């Protein structure tokens, strides 16, 4: 087998670790992304998402563990293997003095495109992100949201089979965000393997076929959205804000059949309830206990409640 046999799955990450000095940023992360699949890495600031992407793109070399791209080692990946990968970095990386189209031509050339193929690729990438009308404007004059879209186009210009997207929707308006999600979905439908990092829970729920919840450089849970939801339970989740005390709430949950305390920190708490009856029993008990509450919500189990359960913290946008 050669260093890059091209036969493995688009991406296989096995037990990778990386530290910046004494800071362990990634601590044994493993996952795989298949062709046509959108796999999400979901986690708060500092969870290790960008560091993981950097080890896949070859910017950083793992301290231990392995990254395989189409079956070949990422660190020794050939130009041909690199050309099958598109990277959209978290920090926009564009030349302000060049126009949108010139930026795309530049990157397209780096990936080996020339002549008519290059022109076609640039035209197509501009169209994909809705920048055809702005193609001749200098990037320095584009708004932050438009730069983000162009940043995405740069990752797509050479038609990659593996796409690494590091928070591609940060700082853009809701309509443009929907458009970007649509572009990413279309790429996956066309067979591209997509790794998508985000700290937006709802976005990850909408777009990812499977995802891993990461925090402090570790995978806390992984699976499809439905599988992850089941980890919280089938029944509703009750969330409180106000004067909450862990010992008191634990005792209170103990008195309610089918109720468990998921989390309690920073003036918020959440419970899982087996079903609607368990939920109303809990709400009754909460009011009888005379707690000073500012807010009480009942919701379907979602990634937010799973994150609470796993970390005891909220993942805020
Ligand atoms: N260049 C660096 N030097 C030192 N420490 C770093 C560096 N880059 C990241 N870190 C640290 O490594 C950890 C993981 O950071 P990383 O950027 O991978 O997280 P992230 O999940 O991408 O976060 P964000 O959502 O804020 O982009 C954090 O503790 C961070 O402070
Ligand atoms: Mg990051």
End-to-end CA distance of the chain: 45
Could you tell me if 129 and 100 are in contact, meaning their C-beta atoms sit under 8 angstroms apart?
Answer: no
User: What is the Å distance from ligand 1's center to 206 Cα?
Assistant: 25
Looking at residue 288, which CATH number applies to its domain? 3.30.70.250
Considering the domain architecture, whether residues 134 and 194 belong to the same structural domain is answered as yes
Q: CB atoms < 10 A from the CB of 17, how many?
A: 18
Tell whether 316 is covered by a domain.
no
23 CB less than 6 Å from ligand 1? yes
Considering the domain architecture, whether residues 173 and 271 belong to the same structural domain is answered as no
User: What is the Å distance from ligand 2's center to 245 Cα?
Assistant: 33
Considering the domain architecture, whether residues 244 and 97 belong to the same structural domain is answered as no
Alpha-carbon gap, residue 25 to 216, rounded angstroms: 7
**What per-residue confidence (pLDDT) applies to 300?**
83
**What per-residue confidence (pLDDT) applies to 3?**
42
Tell whether 169 is covered by a domain.
yes
Separate counts of helices (H) and strands (E) for the chain:
11, 14
Tell whether 37 is covered by a domain.
yes
Considering the domain architecture, whether residues 103 and 146 belong to the same structural domain is answered as yes
Considering the domain architecture, whether residues 148 and 266 belong to the same structural domain is answered as no
User: What is the Å distance from ligand 1's center to 167 Cα?
Assistant: 13
Please give the residue range of the domain that contains residue 94: 11-228
Considering the domain architecture, whether residues 238 and 223 belong to the same structural domain is answered as no
Alpha-carbon gap, residue 142 to 51, rounded angstroms: 28
Ligand 1, atom 26: nearest CA belongs to which residue?
Answer: 45
Tell whether 188 is covered by a domain.
yes
20 CB less than 6 Å from ligand 1? yes
Digit-by-digit pLDDT tens for the chain (317 residues) are 344 456 789 999 999 999 999 999 999 999 999 999 999 999 989 999 999 999 999 999 999 999 999 988 877 666 777 789 999 999 999 999 999 999 999 999 998 899 999 999 999 999 999 999 999 999 999 998 899 999 999 999 999 999 999 999 988 888 888 989 999 999 999 999 999 999 888 899 899 999 999 999 999 999 998 898 888 777 888 999 998 899 999 999 999 999 999 888 888 898 989 999 999 999 999 999 988 899 999 988 888 888 877 877 776 65
Considering the domain architecture, whether residues 216 and 183 belong to the same structural domain is answered as yes
The ligand 1 atom at the shortest distance from the C-alpha of residue 54 is 18
Q: State both tokens at 232.
A: 């919280």
Q: State both tokens at 88.
A: 């959209």
The ligand 1 atom at the shortest distance from the C-alpha of residue 26 is 14
Considering the domain architecture, whether residues 94 and 65 belong to the same structural domain is answered as yes
Which residue in the block uniquely carries the two structure tokens 């189409």?
A: 70
Whose CA is closest to 174, among 156, 200, 211?
Answer: 200
Domain count of the fold of the chain: 2
| Domain termination residue (choose one: 200, 228, 256) | 228
| Domain termination residue (choose one: 178, 213, 228) | 228
Cα–Cα distance list, 15 to 9, 25, 43, 157, 202 (Å): 16, 13, 18, 31, 27
Considering the domain architecture, whether residues 64 and 194 belong to the same structural domain is answered as yes
Considering the domain architecture, whether residues 222 and 73 belong to the same structural domain is answered as yes
Which residue in the block uniquely carries the two structure tokens 């096995």?
A: 14
Q: State both tokens at 8.
A: 């493995």
**What per-residue confidence (pLDDT) applies to 309?**
77
Considering the domain architecture, whether residues 118 and 242 belong to the same structural domain is answered as no
79 CB less than 6 Å from ligand 1? no
Could you tell me if 189 and 96 are in contact, meaning their C-beta atoms sit under 8 angstroms apart?
Answer: no
Alpha-carbon gap, residue 94 to 104, rounded angstroms: 9
Ligand 1, atom 28: nearest CA belongs to which residue?
Answer: 46
22 CB less than 6 Å from ligand 1? no
**What per-residue confidence (pLDDT) applies to 200?**
87
Tell whether 168 is covered by a domain.
yes
Ligand 1, atom 1: nearest CA belongs to which residue?
Answer: 20
Considering the domain architecture, whether residues 157 and 17 belong to the same structural domain is answered as yes
pTM for this model (two decimals): 0.86
């Amino acid at each position: 087998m050669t260093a890059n046999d091209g036969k493995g799955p688009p991406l296989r990450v096995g037990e990778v670790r990386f530290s910046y000095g004494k800071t362990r940023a990634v601590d044994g992360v493993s996952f795989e992304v298949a062709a046509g699949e959108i796999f999400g890495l979901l986690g708060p600031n500092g969870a290790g998402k960008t560091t993981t992407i950097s080890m896949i793109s070859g910017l950083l070399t793992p301290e231990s563990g392995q990254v395989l791209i189409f079956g070949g080692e990422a660190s020794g990946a050939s130009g041909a293997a690199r050309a099958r990968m598109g990277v959209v970095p978290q920090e926009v990386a564009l030349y302000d003095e060049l126009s949108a189209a010139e930026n795309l031509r530049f990157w397209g050339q780096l990936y080996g495109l020339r002549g008519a193929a290059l022109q076609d690729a640039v035209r197509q990438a501009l169209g994909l992100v809705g920048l055809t009308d702005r193609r001749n404007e200098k990037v320095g004059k584009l708004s932050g949201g438009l730069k983000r879209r162009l940043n995405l186009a740069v990752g797509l210009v050479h038609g990659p089979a593996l796409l690494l997207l590091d928070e591609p929707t940060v700082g853009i308006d809701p309509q443009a965000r929907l458009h970007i999600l649509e572009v990413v979905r279309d790429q996956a439908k066309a067979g591209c393997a997509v790794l998508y990092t985000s700290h937006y829970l709802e976005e990850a729920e909408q777009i990812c076929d499977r995802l891993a919840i990461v925090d402090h450089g570790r995978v806390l849970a992984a699976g499809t959205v439905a599988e992850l939801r089941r980890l919280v339970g089938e029944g509703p989740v009750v969330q409180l804000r106000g004067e909450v005390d862990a010992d008191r709430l634990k005792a209170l949950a103990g008195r309610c059949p089918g109720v468990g305390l998921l989390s309690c920190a920073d003036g918020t708490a959440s419970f899982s309830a087996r079903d609607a009856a368990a939920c109303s029993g809990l709400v009754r008990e909460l009011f009888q206990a005379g707690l000073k509450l500012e807010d009480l919500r009942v919701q379907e189990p979602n990634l937010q409640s799973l994150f609470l359960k796993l970390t005891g913290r909220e993942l805020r946008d």
